[in-house]
Amino acid sequence: MTSQYAHVIAVGGIVRRAGSILLVRQRYGPAQGTYLFPGGLVEPGETLDQAVLREIAEETGIRAIVRGIVGVRTRCDGPRSDTYVMFLLDWSAGEPSPDGQEIDEARFFTLEELRDPDRPITALSRYVALRVLAGSTCLQSFASDFDYAAAGRDPATWRLFC
């Protein structure tokens, strides 16, 4: 039996640098003209953390280091549903440069800018970014001490965050 429902998995990257958070301005869709976390859909053959690093690099040119998962948003709109996994990352190299296709601006926002209600930032991005900067999130980090070999798993393709 074929399902009439569609489900996608997307990732968002919360990149920190010196007390600020990287946001991008969307060029299309319902979020057009607003700022949000860089990210996108997970492609076949990649893990969630690989996807978020790829999306950040493609959209902004930034290189970052994954620290862990800070949030999951799930949504169902009738026959469509999606899961959005938000990763905390630390900036490692590069200056924000928008891809010019999906994104027309990419820059780091300070705490004061994030708090400004007149700035066009999505409610979810504003809420999570402020929590990250306040240190009030619970980080699910990559379990580097898990015995992947004994479990018959390759940590490059089978990832555990806890």
Tens digits of residue pLDDT in 54-67: 999 999 999 999 99
Domain count, the chain: 1
Averaged pLDDT, 58-81? 94
> How many CA atoms lie less than 13 Å away from 138 in the CB half-sphere?
3
Task: Judge whether residue 50 has pLDDT over 50.
Answer: yes
- Whether residue 149 lies inside any domain: the answer is no
Burial class of residue 1 in the structure, from the number of CB atoms within 10 Å of its CB (0-12 exposed, 13-18 middle, 19+ buried): exposed
Please state, rounded to an integer, the average pLDDT across all residues of the chain: 95
- Whether residue 157 lies inside any domain: the answer is no
Residue 3: pLDDT band (50, 70, 90) is low
pTM greater than 0.75: yes
- Whether residue 141 lies inside any domain: the answer is no
Task: Judge whether residue 107 has pLDDT over 90.
Answer: yes
Domain housing 117: 6-134
Residue 6: pLDDT band (50, 70, 90) is confident
Which residue numbers are catalytic?
105
Residues 6+ apart with CB under 8 A from 106: 22, 23, 24, 25, 38, 59, 60, 61, 62, 96, 97, 98
Per DSSP, the three-state class of 15 is strand
Evaluate whether 32 touches 120 at the Cβ level (below 8 Å): no
Task: Judge whether residue 1 has pLDDT over 50.
Answer: no
Task: Judge whether residue 118 has pLDDT over 90.
Answer: yes
- Whether residue 156 lies inside any domain: the answer is no
- Whether residue 126 lies inside any domain: the answer is yes
For residue 92, give the CATH number of its domain. Answer: 3.90.79.10
- Whether residue 1 lies inside any domain: the answer is no
- Whether residue 145 lies inside any domain: the answer is no
Say what the pLDDT of residue 77 is: 84
- Whether residue 45 lies inside any domain: the answer is yes
